[in-house]
């Protein structure tokens, strides 16, 4: 009887091994037997599977994008998402023109949306070509690539001649498109039309004041609407104390 038990146990072990497989095929069997999709590479160590509902849903969930192959049918994106031009992926709108390509075809960085002529960088800033990425002028030719296509660095940093280009009170900065003059006084910008430094109208740009902005000679002043007060030079806060309400099964507190 004991020998029969051993034989049955051994045979069961062999059948179990054949059923589960061995080596790298385990992940295939586990994903398939669970009704899941196996990514081409591990998501994390020892984890390869995702829900089949995530395949061809317009968002890449596998690290290698194998759940969104070219054979997927075109997808429709939600209003708050950007649809890549190849119609393979939907990405959050906040990822559009942020300097990092998220679409397979890179249309979130190289498309017409990023070349929108209505978008302008702030005064004394440099706009990376075809994007909405703005750099401080001291980021140009500093040995660190900041633009998506690295156009802020390159041979022009050595070849462009800045000698005698800019007038007194301004400084020359080398760019891919040639020398660029900017003013030493940060409250001024260099006007290519007049060839001189002029006062910046900070109120014409976002990010200077929370609510009310008043342009002044060599600067600006912020103010707040009724019911608000300045907490520093630029930010406003309500003068009415706010109360946080907590909702639970026991009511609102």
- Answer whether 26-73 and 209-253 agree in fold: no
Determine whether 195 is exposed, middle or buried from the number of CB atoms within 10 Å of its CB (0-12, 13-18, 19+). Answer: exposed
Give 20-75 pLDDT, tens digit per residue. Answer: 333 445 656 788 888 889 999 988 888 889 888 888 877 788 989 898 888 887 76
pLDDT reported for residue 80:
75
Alpha carbon distance 3, 92 (integer Å): 65
Going through 192-242 in order, the beta strands assigned E by DSSP cover: 196-199, 212-216, 219-223, 228-230, 236-238
Q: What is the pTM of this model?
A: 0.46
Q: Which of 13-27, 67-81, 88-102, 126-140 is least confident? A: 13-27
Residue with tokens 């997808």: 75
Domain boundaries, the chain: 26-73, 125-200, 209-253
pLDDT over threshold 70, residue 16: no
Per-residue pLDDT, averaged over 16-22, amounts to 37
Domain spanning 209-253, CATH architecture: Ribbon (2.10)
pLDDT of the residue at 21: 37
Q: Which of 86, 74, 82, 80 is nearest to 98 (CA)?
A: 82
Nearest alpha carbon to residue 136 among 126, 146, 128, 145: 126
Helix (H) or strand (E) holding 170: strand 170-175
CB count, 10 Å around CB of 226? Answer: 5
203 — pLDDT class (breaks 50, 70, 90): confident
What pLDDT does 253 receive? Answer: 59
Structure tokens at 217: 């000679």
CATH architecture for residues 26-73: Irregular (4.10)
How many whole angstroms separate alpha carbon 153 and alpha carbon 138? 12
The fraction of the chain above a pLDDT of 70, given in percent, is 81
């Amino acid at each position: 009887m004991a020998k029969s038990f051993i034989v049955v146990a051994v045979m069961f072990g062999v059948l179990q091994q054949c059923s589960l497989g061995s080596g790298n095929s385990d992940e295939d069997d586990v994903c398939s037997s669970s009704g899941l999709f196996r990514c081409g590479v591990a998501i994390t160590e020892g984890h390869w599977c995702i829900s089949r509902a995530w395949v061809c849903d317009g968002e890449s969930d596998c690290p290698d994008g194998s759940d969104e192959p070219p054979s997927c049918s075109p997808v429709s994106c939600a209003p708050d998402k950007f649809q890549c031009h190849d119609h393979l992926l939907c990405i959050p709108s906040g990822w559009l023109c942020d300097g990092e390509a998220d679409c397979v075809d890179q249309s979130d960085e190289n498309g017409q949306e990023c070349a929108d002529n209505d978008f302008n960088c702030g005064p004394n800033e440099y706009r990376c070509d075809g994007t909405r990425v703005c750099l401080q002028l001291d980021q140009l030719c500093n040995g660190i690539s900041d633009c998506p296509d690295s156009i802020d660095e390159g041979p022009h940093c050595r070849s462009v001649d800045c000698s005698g280009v800019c007038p007194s009170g301004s400084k020359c900065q080398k760019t891919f498109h040639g020398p660029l003059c900017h003013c030493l006084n940060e409250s001024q910008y260099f006007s290519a039309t007049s060839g001189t430094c002029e006062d910046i109208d900070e109120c014409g740009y976002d990010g200077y004041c929370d609510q009310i902005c008043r342009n002044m000679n060599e600067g600006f002043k912020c103010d707040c609407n009724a019911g608000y007060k300045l907490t520093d030079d630029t930010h406003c806060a309500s003068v009415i104390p706010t109360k946080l309400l907590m909702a639970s099964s026991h009511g609102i507190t």
